[in-house]
A and B are shown apart, each in its own frame.
Chain A
């Protein structure tokens, strides 16, 4: 059975689809006023301040932790800088019980949902309070209570997983959806194709949220794809698609709110492409001066998503300069104090090396563990993180 409903022509006519240009949806200007014809989404003062607080928290955390990495206190870090509106705006438009499957540059979602500075720090330092038991690199956060699936490094693997998760939500009749975040580079992986096509065929309540920030490490978007961004691919899967200004909190919020309605009420998966810019380096291991100009970055600094929201809040008289100063100072102090505390906590106990591989430790692995303990008892000075623990007889 063919599903193509095409008419017949009698001369070979090719098309590259260029006639279908996807517009960019915008609401908020940089000065905090709205574009003509735009109508702000219904966000009350309390929610607006919750969003803004998460944006500033993310920015402050990112600045301080990059500095901590530079000082050698932390092995690795990745910033969300410049993308706070895209991430937090979309998360804020969801129900807090909706599942989030992220790539790695979405710590703003966690900040919005109430992940504490302590919880961030415990993961970054992999101490005994880290939910992930110190097993993954920094920034690979996860929280079951906040419905934030643990991050993994392989790119795009979470995209078809989101499709499956959303299918389960639909089958359970939960009236929840799954949002899956990924960069425009990850969208080149085969798993992007797999996940979107399956979502459209099986009609799952999922929102595919692409952060098109112009770069995948050093690779500019024009070396990533030849087409007009990621959004046109949505047509190929027959998926409801929208492109938004990713530095525009209100546009992102309104688009995601509408997408959620389509997903949850009609089981129509949605593709959102948020146009933004990765203002920071790719990670603490990257130096962007090797592949892009300061002038280019300066253009985007002018479009800072946090300043734009601050301007909007100030115009609404929901925020003041003194509140801003107080918040910045309080967050900086809290981040520093929490970092000191997290750094001092002991590492996870030695047995976390072998637990959770399976639900139970298999006999062969248990033998390896016993052998390791005997070895550490013999060379305690070489294993300062575990020696005391082993000698206590654990």
Chain B
């Protein structure tokens, strides 16, 4: 075990993946000798050479198009998009190409080796274009996997699993936690399973579900709620697509209540998908409406960021209202 922040854990995962398989290549804007604007790829070029860790021209559709071709060829591209806010120029390559490569070719070709890393999320005074959480756009796309870690241990294990998974995977990194989240991380190679939610705390009154940086917010809210005597079951979804319906449904069958929270706007957010599915599975067991605590249906604001975000107080209020309904 070693104490690491999330960036160090990600860097460690990339280092391990590149050492284990010389077909793993890391590239994107400024990821080369500079090591990335957040330093996630620090020292990888120095260690593995310019051919395996390199800068690309500033063109997101090119980065992902290039990565698709490289993955189809049999290499293991780990492409970085500098901010999730700038993944949209590559939307066509991801949604029409990466996601459909295997299906449309009848499995003659695939880009399963592809991993796309992108820092996401708000809370860092990033304004409109350094704060977004675009997971729901991609969750509407069969063929993709979408993974979000909550701390350094998860980041390393889930990233290694994403790189080795035989499907194209989007790995969204909560940049607010890059340096803020520090924890014990096992040395060497280990993987955490995809499409498996994790129950962090068992409880009986209400299920509180989230992912990524929102798990910290949930922790604080649950701490407040438990002081009031509410027993909360806390679940980290970890994989947005394909998501672990069974674990969530089983929990709600027990607690009868569900609060889902994410930073992204409410309308069309992934909480809507979860709420609809759980309502269908757990209808006779629900004792209160499923609550969604999310960002507002606005672009991500700069100065009023705190008002916009679904912080611990908003989540706490939703837990209380759900239990007292």
Contact = CB atoms under 8 A, between A and B. Distances in A.
B245 interface: yes
A142 interface: yes
A157 B104 contact: no
Contacts of B93: 157, 160, 191
A161 interface: yes
A291 interface: no
A136 B104 contact: yes
Contacts of A168: 69-70, 73-75
Contact of A164 (B59, B65, B142): B65
B72 interface: yes
A362 B108 contact: no
Contacts, number: 158
A28 interface: no
Contact of A197 (B25, B57, B69, B97): B57
A157 B66 contact: no
B242 A160 contact: no
Contacts of B142: 357, 365
Interface string B233-253: 000000000110110000000
| Residue of B64, B65, B167 with highest tally of chain A CB at under 10 A | B65
Nearest to B114: A164
Interface stretch (A144-152, A212-220, A296-304): A144-152
A152 B112 contact: no
Nearest to B72: A165
B102 A359 contact: yes
Contacts of B74: 168, 172
| Residue of A99, A157, A198, A358 with highest tally of chain B CB at under 10 A | A358
A99 B107 CA distance: 17
Nearest to B65: A160
Contacts of A152: 96-97, 100, 104
Contacts of B123: none
A257 to B, nearest CB: 23
A144 B109 contact: yes
A169 B73 contact: yes
A133 B59 contact: no
Contact of B242 (A172, A194, A364): A364
B66 A164 contact: yes
Interface size class of A (residues with CB under 8 A): 35 or more
Interface in A141-186: 142-144, 149-150, 152, 154, 157, 159-169, 171-172, 178
A154 B68 CA distance: 14
Contacts of B71: 164
A364 B195 CA distance: 11
A197 B66 CA distance: 11
Contacts of A101: 69
Contacts of A198: 56-57, 59, 62, 66
Contacts of B145: 358
Contacts of B107: 355-356
Interface string B88-120: 010011001100111111111110100000000
A25 interface: no
Contacts of B112: 359
A135 B66 contact: no
B143 interface: yes
A135 B96 contact: no
A140 interface: yes
A369 interface: no
A135 B195 contact: no
B75 A135 contact: no
Contact of A362 (B68, B103, B195): B195
Given A161-B69, A198-B66, A365-B242, A193 B59 contact: yes
Contacts of B103: 135, 356-357
B51 interface: yes
B62 A191 contact: yes
A160 B96 contact: no
A195 B69 CA distance: 11
A167 B70 contact: yes
Contact of B104 (A135, A161, A178, A193): A135
A152 B23 CA distance: 26
B35 interface: no
Interface in B70-85: 70-75, 77
A364 B69 contact: no
A65 to B, nearest CB: 20
B69 A154 contact: no
A9 B257 CA distance: 74
Interface in B5-49: 23, 25
Interface of A: 99, 101, 130-133, 135-136, 140, 142-144, 149-150, 152, 154, 157, 159-169, 171-172, 178, 190-191, 193-195, 197-198, 201-202, 352, 355-359, 362-365
23 contacts: A132-B104, A135-B104, A136-B104, A140-B104, A142-B108, A144-B108, A157-B93, A160-B62, A161-B68, A163-B65, A165-B72, A171-B51, A172-B73, A191-B62, A194-B66, A197-B57, A197-B59, A198-B57, A198-B66, A201-B57, A357-B143, A358-B143, A363-B245
The 8 residue pairs across chains A and B that have the minimum distance between CB atoms: A160-B65, A164-B69, A194-B62, A168-B73, A161-B69, A150-B105, A164-B66, A164-B70
Given A133-B106, A190-B59, A357-B102, 13 more contacts: A142-B105, A142-B106, A144-B108, A150-B106, A161-B65, A161-B68, A163-B65, A164-B68, A164-B72, A172-B73, A195-B66, A197-B59, A356-B103
